[in-house]
A and B are shown apart, each in its own frame.
Chain A
Amino acid sequence: MYGFEAMTFNIHGGYLEAIVRGHRAGLLTAADYNNLCQCETLDDIKMHLSATEYGPYLQNEPSPLHTTTIVEKCTLKLVDEYKHMLCQATEPLSTFLEYITYGHMIDNVVLIVTGTLHERDVQELLEKCHPLGMFDSIATLAVAQNMRELYRLVLVDTPLAPYFSECITSEDLDDMNIEIMRNTLYKAYLEDFYKFCQKLGGATAEIMSDLLAFEADRRAVNITINSIGTELTRDDRRKLYSNFGLLYPYGHEELAVCEDIDQVRAVMEKYPPYQSIFSKLSYGESQMLDKAFYEEEVKRLCLAFEQQFHYGVFFAYMRLREQEIRNLMWISECVAQNQKSRVHDSVVFIF
């Protein structure tokens, strides 16, 4: 299929690509964000959103709105679109679409496990889970006492099972090893996804490897920054980095030994694509790093739409929508808490 996507892609993927491009056209624009940022109340936000594709999802909400309702409904729209696409998809696109949700699955598993560790109600936890990452027996996660049980009872049925091979221990669960589990799983997931895309070949491999490499590098940086000052050893830290991406392998070696944020910065500035991100930050600051990364990610995701006949658009669309929902959540929170001066702090314009 390599290089000849134009000839055969549309047989199976053409309809869905058209659908996803149509969905993309419905993403909120900078003008929409400008209007949203001027809103005084959540009702104003609802009113503005009613003119967008979110309209039908919000129109039946009674008036005292909450941020959670807005976010919930917007996510519901994304989920509906995703499910529709998944229903229509054939192999290998359907597998590709499923891969997109594994990240949420990992997050949900970690959420439930941490929650039960702190003796929270399972139903309450389930409500907080991302609907894209739900699987059948997710509630049963609460039964497990250690990693081995977690795997044997529940996760062996899920697509996450192969990623578990590295973290089956009989240790009891605690915060630290749950976090390590999350990152190990994520590492395995990204590598698997990367391999899958390479197997698909063609423009999909080309575009997805770029997007996934960025994701992997971002995670590496975040792991490094978050593990500074914890008891995580260098080797353990090194093990959590995904084995691909721009930073692999030399960047990882250097990141593994970093002791503070400025050292991370020094490492990253050796890589031209990340230079611009770090040059926006002042020394010693890591607050704005997330936003800078998000902005860079959005830029790359938008570029994925410039090329045709590849699956990257589906990944890009899902990610862009998620970013949009994060934006809406931030704007709504700011409006709800009367913090409008901070509204621009974390909103990433998509177009």
Chain B
Amino acid sequence: MERIEKFIDNLPPMDLMRSEKMTLVQLIIPVESAHRAISYLGELGLLQFRDLNSERSPFQRTFVNQVKRCGEMSRKLRFFKDQISKAGLLSSVHPVVEPDLELEELEIQLAEHENELIEMNSNSEKLRVTYNELLEFKLVLQKACGFLLPSSNHAVAEERELTENIYSNDDYVETASLLEQETRPADQSGLRFISGIICKSKALRFERMLFRATRGNMLFNQAPAGEEIMDPLSAEMVEKTVFVVHFSGEQARTKILKICEAFGANCYPVPDDISKQRQITREVSSHLSELETTLDAGIRHRNKALTSIGYHLTQWTSMVRREKAVYDTLNMLNFDVTKKCLVGEGWCPIFAKVQIQEALQRATFDSSSQVGIIFHVMDAVESPPTYFRTNHFTNAYQEIVDAYGVARYQEANPAVYTVVTFPFLFAVMFGDWGHGICLLLGALVLIAREGRLSTQKLGSFMEMLFGGRYVLLLMSLFSIYCGLIYNEFFSVPFHIFGGSAYKCRDVTCSDAKSAGLIKFRDPYPFGVDPSWRGSRLELPFLNSLKMKMSILLGVAQMNLGIILSYFNARFFRSSLDIRYQFVPQMIFLNSLFGYLSLLIIIKWCTGSQADLYHVMIYMFLSPTDDLGENELFWGQRPLQIVLLLLALVAVPWMLFPKPFILKKLHSERFQGRTYGLLGSSEFDLDVEPDSARDHHEEFNFSEVFVHQMIHSIEFVLGAVSNTASYLRLWALSLAHSELSTVFYEKVLLLAWGYDNIVIRLIGLAVFAFATAFILLMMETLSAFLHALRLHWVEFQNKFYHGDGYKFKPFSFALITDDDD
């Protein structure tokens, strides 16, 4: 025992086994160097600040104004981004790196740019409105002529005179709204008209409304404008319809004009005379082309300004984001009594203390502060955060474990074993080296493109695949391995490791399916003999093999879990857990299922015919009975009785002692201390508000007992159900091989049987799709989920608490654009 302890103590420490040692530190930073210090710490990214002002609302904090300014700046940046994307420019691919700006300078620059942009926008807006009006006028002129031509012969000369006066004006654009009053009686009957243009979507309702308002005394003509016109509000192109309404009477006119206004229809006057029309059309066109050039120039100018902004946009955005993060962090700090220093508390890993101190010194030096930053370690009552230093490879496995629960501080980390066991258990279910090679290729593609893909923004599905690329890699490698053992390649057996050990009884091989084959040489050296494929006993043989293998793997993994609980108990120096939890659990599991595993191995080695179901069942029902032909080794019966007794003893062993001993320990520790501990005045002063130091302790026996009871029952029942649960390895593996057999034999071979190229191609296509989507995607997913479950439930419930919280350092590298 001593030697084992020594051996365990001398084991080299595993990197990922325990989370990093953390410590609570206090920083006292002079105000003048605070900003710099925090930004250096942000670059370092190894300190997690605690919020010391959590009771204050965001706008009562010290640096609220700076935060607001940053918010304002990021609003401006968003405005720029929006404008740039609206203008159809790509924000620059090669951002210009220029020396860091001061925040104030940036603020001024941004404000300038914003004003400039807004001014340009409003100018071009005005131009655009004028342009639109002219364009509409032109369209109305073009289209409305068609309706008006017949009546133009009757035009009265005086009216022509009148219109001439007005239209000769060059500023008819400005007076357009006045001109629309110029509706002339087109003939002696007092018929007048109003012409204009309206959104196509509103035209129908407009007509109906006009009809109602005039009680049907009107004539409505419309024609599609043919050209799309930009809606100044939404900057979208809309289709419009030109209309001409003929009506009579003054009242109708006011009504129609009001309705036009209400519907946002723009009215434009159209002269009756053709020559007038031509003249106006010409004028309008020339104005249009002038305006177009002006507009184009404006847009070019604006685009130029936007491009120059676009060069800096990325840099500015990240800078503002950093500044905001710095001020948010500063807001978590407290002022000390003298108001000259900021006091901060935070967690950092112990290895990072030197780096942090160095960064702080640099900050003091750079900001030429008189007083250095004080950095010291405090003791904490609160449990520190959990921090694992992972790399590209281990990260995905750590994520798998964290998805269940973040490890308690310094608790044994199942991710260490998950790296191997997870892909292996997956492969047991997915064993087929053909499919494994497909997966491997996929994984290799993802890994080869790692550099490129990691910088891109991927879709959620691709992101998941990419994140798990190393999981995928190991999964595929193990699948190839298991596939070789199962001797499956798209369900086809191969003679890779030599010839089969079996041959037919005679040359004709006629009774191969009925009487079977005979063994004529040494067993097939690696994996399953290819001759099993297609034989009558194929399924019973493979089932028995895989079932037994599943139980062996399961018992091994569960034992590993319990052993990890021993390491945990040793680490946290809890001999109670070793004696009253680890030992009985070990005994219970191994006396039942460990024994079963032993029987399996003996049966495999000796080739015995014993019925293991019978042995296990009668071990409980009548342990004293003779085993008869099922006896595998000498002394099996007494051993069974001993094991059964041990298992029975183990149950109360793990249930009762622990809560009682805990109670005794508690009452001893607080013996005679009927009153609570009075905080000494010195201690009280030292406590910062909201510090991690305050604590209280209470012991509730019934709660502890119930907890222990639940735990024990869960373990005892779990031993049975978890072992059974591992049989999913067999079930999924069976399902996988049967599915691939079906696709191979019933689709591919069937199609190949026809001597028709089309049917063969169809068969091949169906086979390929089934392999890719059902076997490679769905089956991978289901095997993945089952492996996940085996780890989360069957393995981790033996030792893993998973109630810690993650270390979230203040780091610029971690600030992403999720706040946008």
Chain A residue with minimal CB distance to B82?
A60
A43: chain B residues at CB < 8 Å are 68
Segment at the interface with B among A47-55, A177-185, A229-237: A47-55
Asked whether any CB of chain A lies closer than 8 Å to the CB of B209, the reply is yes
- With A140-B263, A143-B258 known as contacts, the answer to whether A63 contacts B209 (CB < 8 A) is no
- With A60-B75, A137-B205 known as contacts, the answer to whether A48 contacts B58 (CB < 8 A) is yes
Which A residues, 23 to 62, have Cβ-Cβ distances below 8 Å to chain B? 35, 38-40, 43-44, 47-48, 50-51, 59-62
A143 touches B59 (CB 8 A): no
Asked whether any CB of chain B lies closer than 8 Å to the CB of A153, the reply is yes
B58: chain A residues at CB < 8 Å are 47-48, 51
Which A residues, 108 to 159, have Cβ-Cβ distances below 8 Å to chain B? 122, 136-137, 139-143, 152-154
B262 touches A143 (CB 8 A): yes
C-alpha spacing A79/B798, complex, angstroms: 52
A47 touches B71 (CB 8 A): yes
Q: How large is the interface on B (under 10, 10 to 19, 20 to 34, 35 or more residues)?
A: 20 to 34
- With A139-B263, A142-B262 known as contacts, the answer to whether A47 contacts B59 (CB < 8 A) is yes
B59 touches A39 (CB 8 A): yes
A153: chain B residues at CB < 8 Å are 209, 212-213
User: Taking the nearest CB of chain A, how far is it from the CB of B144, in angstroms?
Assistant: 23
User: Taking the nearest CB of chain B, how far is it from the CB of A19, in angstroms?
Assistant: 22
Chain A residue with minimal CB distance to B64?
A47
A60: chain B residues at CB < 8 Å are 75, 78-79
A51: chain B residues at CB < 8 Å are 58
Asked whether any CB of chain A lies closer than 8 Å to the CB of B259, the reply is yes
A143 touches B259 (CB 8 A): yes
Asked whether any CB of chain A lies closer than 8 Å to the CB of B261, the reply is yes
- With A47-B59, A63-B72 known as contacts, the answer to whether A140 contacts B78 (CB < 8 A) is no
The DSSP consensus for interface residues of chain B is helix
C-alpha spacing A51/B72, complex, angstroms: 15
- With A59-B75, A60-B75, A63-B72 known as contacts, the answer to whether A140 contacts B209 (CB < 8 A) is yes
C-alpha spacing A51/B59, complex, angstroms: 11
C-alpha spacing A21/B64, complex, angstroms: 33
The DSSP consensus for interface residues of chain A is helix
Q: Mark B27-60, 1 if CB is under 8 A from A, else 0.
A: 0000000000000000000000000000001111
A137 touches B75 (CB 8 A): no
C-alpha spacing A35/B258, complex, angstroms: 48
Which listed residue (B59, B79, B262) contacts A137, Cβ 8 A?
B262
C-alpha spacing A143/B59, complex, angstroms: 50
Q: Using a Cβ–Cβ cut-off of 8 Å, how many residues does chain A contribute to the interface with B? A: 26
Q: Mark B285-328, 1 if CB is under 8 A from A, else 0.
A: 00000000000000000000000000000000000000000000
Chain A residue with minimal CB distance to B79?
A60
User: Taking the nearest CB of chain B, how far is it from the CB of A328, in angstroms?
Assistant: 16
A48 touches B59 (CB 8 A): yes
Chain B residue with minimal CB distance to A31?
B57
Asked whether any CB of chain A lies closer than 8 Å to the CB of B255, the reply is yes
B68 touches A143 (CB 8 A): no
User: Taking the nearest CB of chain A, how far is it from the CB of B51, in angstroms?
Assistant: 14
C-alpha spacing A284/B173, complex, angstroms: 61
A140 touches B262 (CB 8 A): yes
A152: chain B residues at CB < 8 Å are 212
A122: chain B residues at CB < 8 Å are 261-262
C-alpha spacing A140/B71, complex, angstroms: 42
B60: chain A residues at CB < 8 Å are 38
Chain A residue with minimal CB distance to B261?
A122
Which B residues, 66 to 111, have Cβ-Cβ distances below 8 Å to chain A? 67-68, 71-72, 75, 78-79
A136: chain B residues at CB < 8 Å are 205
Chain A residue with minimal CB distance to B202?
A136
C-alpha spacing A62/B110, complex, angstroms: 13
User: Taking the nearest CB of chain B, how far is it from the CB of A216, in angstroms?
Assistant: 33
C-alpha spacing A238/B58, complex, angstroms: 53
Chain A residue with minimal CB distance to B69?
A63
A143: chain B residues at CB < 8 Å are 213, 255, 258-259, 262
Q: Which of B64, B67, B262 has the most CB of A within 10 A?
A: B262
User: Taking the nearest CB of chain A, how far is it from the CB of B2, in angstroms?
Assistant: 60
B262 touches A139 (CB 8 A): yes
User: Taking the nearest CB of chain B, how far is it from the CB of A40, in angstroms?
Assistant: 8
Chain A residue with minimal CB distance to B114?
A62
Chain A residue with minimal CB distance to B74?
A59
- With A47-B68, A152-B212, A153-B212 known as contacts, the answer to whether A142 contacts B258 (CB < 8 A) is yes
C-alpha spacing A136/B59, complex, angstroms: 43
B71: chain A residues at CB < 8 Å are 47, 50, 59
Chain A residue with minimal CB distance to B262?
A139
User: Taking the nearest CB of chain B, how far is it from the CB of A151, in angstroms?
Assistant: 11
C-alpha spacing A211/B60, complex, angstroms: 40
A35: chain B residues at CB < 8 Å are 57, 59
A137 touches B209 (CB 8 A): yes
User: Taking the nearest CB of chain B, how far is it from the CB of A81, in angstroms?
Assistant: 22
User: Taking the nearest CB of chain A, how far is it from the CB of B207, in angstroms?
Assistant: 12
User: Taking the nearest CB of chain B, how far is it from the CB of A322, in angstroms?
Assistant: 25
B212: chain A residues at CB < 8 Å are 152-153
C-alpha spacing A140/B263, complex, angstroms: 7
User: Taking the nearest CB of chain A, how far is it from the CB of B251, in angstroms?
Assistant: 10
Chain B residue with minimal CB distance to A156?
B212
Chain A residue with minimal CB distance to B255?
A143
User: Taking the nearest CB of chain A, how far is it from the CB of B199, in angstroms?
Assistant: 12
C-alpha spacing A142/B258, complex, angstroms: 8
C-alpha spacing A154/B261, complex, angstroms: 15
User: Taking the nearest CB of chain A, how far is it from the CB of B820, in angstroms?
Assistant: 9
C-alpha spacing A153/B213, complex, angstroms: 6
Which A residues, 145 to 200, have Cβ-Cβ distances below 8 Å to chain B? 152-154
User: Taking the nearest CB of chain A, how far is it from the CB of B813, in angstroms?
Assistant: 24
B57 touches A48 (CB 8 A): yes
B259: chain A residues at CB < 8 Å are 140, 143
Which listed residue (A38, A50, A59, A139) contacts B57, Cβ 8 A?
A38
Some 25 contacts from A to B, beta carbons below 8 A apart, are A38-B59, A44-B59, A47-B68, A47-B71, A48-B59, A50-B71, A59-B78, A60-B75, A60-B78, A61-B75, A62-B72, A62-B75, A63-B72, A122-B261, A137-B209, A137-B262, A139-B262, A140-B258, A140-B262, A141-B262, A142-B258, A143-B258, A143-B262, A152-B212, A153-B209
Q: A38-B60, A59-B78, A140-B262 are in contact. List 15 more A-B contacts (CB 8 A).
A: A35-B59, A38-B57, A39-B59, A47-B59, A47-B68, A62-B75, A122-B262, A137-B209, A137-B263, A139-B264, A141-B262, A143-B213, A153-B209, A153-B212, A154-B209
**Interface positions of B (Cβ within 8 A of A):** 57-60, 64, 67-68, 71-72, 75, 78-79, 205, 209, 212-213, 255, 258-259, 261-264
4 A-B pairs closest in CB distance: A139-B262, A35-B57, A44-B59, A140-B262
